[in-house]
Structure 1
Amino acid sequence: MGFFIELHLIQNFAPSNLNRDDTGAPKDALFGGQRRARVSSQCFKRATRLAVAEHELLPVAHRGIRTQRLQELLLARLNGREEAEAKGRIEAALAAAGLKLKDDGKTQYLLFLGQTEIARFAELIEQHWDVLVPVAAGKSKKDAKASLPPEVVKQAKSILDGGKAVDVALFGRMLADLPEVNQDAACQVAHAISTHRVEREFDYFTAVDDENTRADTGAGMIGQVEFNSATLYRYALLDVPKLLSNLQGDQELTLSAVEAFVKAFSLAIPTGKQNSFAAHNAPEFIGISIRHSLPLNLANAFEKPVLPRHDQPLTGLSVKELAAYEQRLATAYASEQDAWGYLDLTGQWPSGKGQASESLQALVRWVREQVVNGLGV
């Protein structure tokens, strides 16, 4: 039997451009035959990772970092060593693990590593400084590994185990030429879409030259930026047993990871164009469903767009539609063991449907209790 935690959020954003496409316009999508505002899953994943760091929801040792600048990070940890020599040893150590640096010192592609993995690479280099011979120009990773003692190569390869980094465990990683260190994600995040139809709007702006004279009329710069305002439905799915496996069976860390994710995902706000729009709008509704049968994304509650009414907010109308659709779907597909907890500022979620919370922190505590019971901790 499965054990899933689902997050269902209704969040209204004031005029903004949180997530842009290649033309600078807010991302959108057709859904139910109507144009909808959209914020990509990648955008909210990054906002969630930033929220974990900003609110210090997890210690640094259990966070990951996505970068091509692994050499720079290792140099900082080896700052007592001569830089040229350290660079040669770093390249050799990474080659032993199956990673190669380009001529500019960056890795061939973005790596998603735990802080513990980076620390262990630095320890490996210090421990085997004398045998880590710098990689000769033009030498392949295979040749570089062959020139090192087998025990060093084995130790280097063992480093890439995820390092109990929670965001690596949640969102997974893929290294094309090192499939053995790939990690399947324990979390899935949907693209957020508006519950209603949207149209793009345009802001024509001018910038004034403070040193302009009266003789020189006109603006110093003119331009335009596209934006929209939307009530979004956001959905994320967390496979708890998979998260526990990715965190190497560490139950206490898994509980902390679930708490951190629920709080960070709820607080996550993308940074796009915020200096221009300041759309810092918290969710009006956070629903948490504990599923033991199969996951149920509720986006189809809005296949028919919610129609604005002058006497009711779109957030409340959206929550009402979400509850009605979930009831229909649950009758057909839900398990008797499924449960709901929620924080509702709209007053539209049925009072008898799940455990109500007055604050986000109280909702997070309820989720932790469900995971403790579900895992038998």
Structure 2
Amino acid sequence: MSAFLEFHLIQNFAPSNLNRDDTGAPKDAIFGGQRRARISSQCWKRATRLAFGAHDLLPADKRGIRTKKLKPLLLERLVGRDSAQAEARIEVALAAAGLKLKDDGKTEYLLFLGEGEVAAFAALIEQHWDELPIGGDKKSKKDAKASLPAEIVKKAKALLDGGKAVDVALFGRMLADLPAVNQDAACQVAHAISTHRVEREFDYFTAVDDKGDADETGAGMIGQVEFNSATLYRYAVLDLHKLQGNLQNDRDLTLAAVEAFARALALAIPSGKQNSFAAHNPPEFVGVCLRHATPLSLANAFEQPVSPRADQTLTEQSVERLTAYEDKLASAYATPDDQWLSLDLTGRWPVGKGETVTNLANLALRVRTLASAALEG
């Protein structure tokens, strides 16, 4: 039976510019005919990945690295080896796996590798140090790769298995030259949009020169920064069976990943312009639903934007709107065995609509239990 874990978050941010477009302005979108604040899915994925490490939610060897600098990472692991010889062997070993390096030593594009994959490459080079041929020019390097024993080539290609990295398993990866090692994401993340209409605002700022002369009365620098403030609806859905498959059917790791993801998603805050705005505002509502038929985004609850009221916050109104829309949508598309968990600081989520918890740690533990039961079914 299919098992989808959905995450629905309502999160209000103070004035900020967490995710910028190419002009430096906060990203936005037209939704329901009105301009909304927007934070991209890619931005949330990165913030979630960083939260795994920042909050010590997953061990380093179960996390991934996105980089072009694979060669320096391997050099760090080949301690005690001659640097020039190590570099040559790294190039041959990576070429055997189908990974090419440019003249500057970087890979041709950003790689998303598990820490375990990087460690395995270093171990392969150590193990077969004397068997890895080295050459000087490009032609000799090509010849060196061609002369590698078939066993080493087979081992090198087999190393790219995801390395049981949770974030690689969650968000997937694509290596253009190596489609066999691509990994379909177990998790889909929506662009967060504001539940209400927004307008861009501008901060005109000046900076004073501390060492200015007496006749220098003006500012040493002037400029402006765009920002907004918004109550966001965030949505992500996790295919539990796909996640377990991506993690090589390691059930214990899958459940640890689910618990870590539940916490990281709520703790994740994008880093854009935080030194200027310090918008560290956690979500006031986190709802988790286990569905078996099909995932159901509740974004259309806000197709008609929420409007400010004197007696109720935008966050409170957004949770009420979310509840009403979920009831309507569930009556047509949900199944009787769908289950809700919620952490609600607004008091607007209905009592009796699923199980309520009082803090994030307990929510994550209950999500883990829910996932465990679903994977057994």
TM-score normalised according to structure 2 size: 0.98
Kept in 2: contact 1:188–1:238 (CA 8 A): yes
What is the CA deviation profile of residues 122-154 of structure 1, one whole-angstrom value per residue up to 9, with x for unaligned ones?
A: 111011111211255334987554221000000
Amino acid at match of 1:232: L
Task: Give 2:152's aligned residue.
Answer: 152
Task: Give 1:36's aligned residue.
Answer: 36
Shift of 1:374: 1.1
State the superposition RMSD in angstroms: 1.2
What is the CA deviation profile of residues 188-246 of structure 1, one whole-angstrom value per residue up to 9, with x for unaligned ones?
A: 00000000000000000000001112211100000000000000000000000000000
Kept in 1: contact 2:18–2:39 (CA 8 A): yes
CA distance in 2, matches of 1:374, 1:196: 35
CA distance in 2, matches of 1:242, 1:32: 33
CA distance in 2, matches of 1:321, 1:12: 15
Alignment of 1:188-199 (within 5 A): 188-199=188-199
Task: Give 2:63's aligned residue.
Answer: 63
Task: Give 1:82's aligned residue.
Answer: 82
Amino acid at match of 2:29: A
Task: Give 2:24's aligned residue.
Answer: 24
Alignment of 1:185-334 (within 5 A): 185-334=185-334
Task: Give 2:351's aligned residue.
Answer: 351
Structure 1 residue runs of 5 or longer lacking an equivalent are none
**Deviation >3 Å, runs of 4+:** 138-145
CA distance in 2, matches of 1:114, 1:194: 34
Secondary structure of 1:199 counterpart? coil
CA distance in 1, matches of 2:114, 2:345: 37
Secondary structure of 1:156 counterpart? helix
Task: Give 1:2's aligned residue.
Answer: 2
Task: Give 1:365's aligned residue.
Answer: 365
What is the CA deviation profile of residues 43-79 of structure 1, one whole-angstrom value per residue up to 9, with x for unaligned ones?
A: 0100001111001101111010000000000000012
Task: Give 1:130's aligned residue.
Answer: 130
Amino acid at match of 2:250: D
CA distance in 1, matches of 2:74, 2:14: 42
Task: Give 1:93's aligned residue.
Answer: 93
Kept in 1: contact 2:192–2:233 (CA 8 A): yes
Shift of 1:355: 0.3
Shift of 1:369: 1.1
TM-score normalised according to structure 1 size: 0.98
Kept in 1: contact 2:134–2:141 (CA 8 A): no
Secondary structure of 1:169 counterpart? helix
CA distance in 1, matches of 2:2, 2:203: 48
Q: Give the percent of matched residue pairs that are identical in Structure 1 and Structure 2.
A: 71
Structure 2 residue runs of 5 or longer lacking an equivalent are none
